[in-house]
Amino acid sequence: MQWGGRFAAGPAAVMQAINASIGFDAKLWAQDIAGSRAHAAMLAAQGIISPADAAAIDSGLAQVAAEIESGAFEFNNALEDIHTNIEARLTALAGEPARRLHTARSRNDQVATDFRLWVRGALDEVAAQVKLLMHAFATRAAEHAASVMPGFTHLQTAQPVTLGHHLLAYVEMLNRDAGRLGDTRARLNECPLGAAALAGTSFPIDRDATAAALGFARPTENSLDSVSDRDFALEYLSSLSILAMHLSRFAEEIIIWCSAPYRLVALSDAFTTGSSIMPQKRNPDAAELTRAKTGRIFGSLMALLTVMKGLPMAYAKDMQEDKEPVFDATEAILLCLAATVGMVRDLTPDTARMAELAGAGFATATDLADWLVRRLHMPFRDAHHVTGRIVTLAEQQGVDLESLTLAQMQAIEPRISQEIFDVLGVAASVASRTSFGGTAPTNVANAAAKWLENLA
């Protein structure tokens, strides 16, 4: 038993069940072995253990890794966690030298190091998938730089935009997500190994060496903070939560766009399911589940915030509860990213339907008001009022703005000329939005090309 002679009686079954973490922290096996190999090499370099012992430890750890990779390793719940499982097997393989491995370290700095290594790898994997999704959005944006669609505010028709412009909005959002993931990685990339239980160690260890061996930028500065900090996991979950929110917003739009009243886009059978009773249905379940899994990711962040909020320095067993939320959120976000990449590539826009709805709801009313300002030098508030009266007339007549006659508009504002009809079409409307960041097709094509070049 690990605790030797400290306790005469073994733990009750319930204590063993609540205390054990091997059921989930087995995911850290590769990181634990990497940390141990770096630690053993440093101990030998510093003369703390012999080169022969270090070689035996390294060889044994390599064999443990091979056994885990092949599925031959037998995890033992009685050994509580991944660290003791690996150490027990190493001792069986290497004998006495293995018992020297834990010199100048604690499970506290060991698990903090393992967990940082795991989150760092997860950050890299998520960031790569974010870039892949950005590329998918930019590719479709380039295809539809001039495809006119309704732009909405309050989910009401506002002004015409292009589908490419709309898709590039998500590229911008995802780029901020990528930036947050990168910032999180930079702050995370410090090595706690060597902080020991909380106070450091009296052995002449070289923390710079172990940090470098594990790819960290530097060792952590304060031993107390080293073992008690989980900010890196919280920041990671926070970044995932914002990313998930962005994916959920797109999923919601896909659901709306696919619905019968809109019919702006369609998804194939690859990303939809049928109904058990209604044969005509094609349900956008991939989008709906992406939207739903956002709740799990938000919940993971709140769970870990709640675990950490009342903990005094330094380590407490509560912190065993830090891993499952991170593991679960990572699995969920990677699945949502993959689903979103698939939907973006799969969706088929109905460009005729988009153009039809782009002109509905008097979407070019702002173009009319802008023309009154630009050509008649009318104050915008006056132009807004005149445009409102013309829209009311069109509503009463049951027609769109383009279908009003010049005489009808001149009855409201006599200075309006035939030139007004040049700006009332949706194509003219989007083409005119040439300001930096605007929806003009030339802008969108250039922006999409820039993103594709940057992401290549």
Q: Which of 154, 202, 276, 377 is catalytic?
A: 154
- C-beta separation of 248 from 294 below 8 A: yes
**Would you list the DSSP string of 191-259?**
E-TT-TTTT--SS---HHHHHHHTT-SEE-S-HHHHHH--HHHHHHHHHHHHHHHHHHHHHHHHHHHHS
Encoded tokens for 91: 């001792």
DSSP state of 71: T
DSSP state of 104: T
Encoded tokens for 237: 């979950």
DSSP state of 126: H
CA–CA separation, 88 vs 29, rounded Å?
A: 13
Q: Beta strands 218-219 and 190-191: pairing type?
A: parallel
| Degrees to nearest 5, angle at CA 174 with 159 and 189 | 160
**Residue recorded with tokens 């049928």:** 274
Q: Beta strands 156-162 and 218-219: pairing type?
A: unpaired
Q: Which of 259, 268, 275, 403 is catalytic?
A: 275
Does the active-site annotation cover 385? no
Does the active-site annotation cover 36? no
CA–CA separation, 58 vs 24, rounded Å?
A: 25
Tell me, what amino acid is at 186? A
Beta partners for 266? 348
- C-beta separation of 157 from 127 below 8 A: no
Encoded tokens for 139: 């590719």
Selection from 134, 22, 139, 154 nearest residue 87 by Cα: 22
- C-beta separation of 418 from 136 below 8 A: no
CA–CA separation, 442 vs 289, rounded Å?
A: 35
- C-beta separation of 328 from 301 below 8 A: no
- C-beta separation of 315 from 108 below 8 A: yes
Task: List the catalytic residues.
Answer: 154, 275
